[in-house]
Amino acid sequence: MAERVEQEEIFSQVLRAGRRTYFFDVRATKADDYYLTVTESKKFTHDDGSFHYQKHKIYLYKEDFTDFHEMLKKATDYIVAEKGDEVISERHQKNYKKEEYKEESATSQSFTDVSFEDI
């Protein structure tokens, strides 16, 4: 059993990002090959001050590394090219303002004017 514990701790890195923490852990298969788990852990605080963590895990095997890496790079490059690397959000900027919903233009686009006098 001690051997399994050693396999669990082959290699690990932690990225803390606000309420989220990301764990990158290298683990071993039964055949002693390696794979990667990426775990997102998010802290939630209750009204009484107690808290719990919600975790989501991805298992990534060597045969998918190249494609995963390429798609992750394409997606992140696209985001930076389209929006830059500055964070734009309500949570990160105090002066952030949402685009106001224009009820008049939405109404005119989704409804047809009907004159009841014509009926």
Q: What is the rounded CA–CA span in Å between residue 4 and residue 49? A: 36
pLDDT tens digits for range 108-117: 444 445 455 5
Burial code (b: 16+ CB inside 10 Å, e: under 16) for 87-110 equals eeeeeeeeeeeeeeeeeeeeeeee
Instruction: Name the nearest CA neighbour of 45 among 17, 10, 64, 19.
Output: 19
Q: Is residue 118 part of a domain?
A: no
Q: Is residue 16 part of a domain?
A: yes
Q: What is the CATH number of the domain that holds 29?
A: 3.10.450.700
Domain of residue 69: give its range: 1-83
Q: What is the rounded CA–CA span in Å between residue 22 and residue 30? A: 25
Q: Are the C-beta atoms of 45 and 27 separated by less than 8 Å? A: no
Q: Is residue 91 part of a domain?
A: no
pLDDT tens digits for range 38-96: 999 998 888 898 889 999 999 999 999 999 999 999 999 999 999 998 888 766 556 65
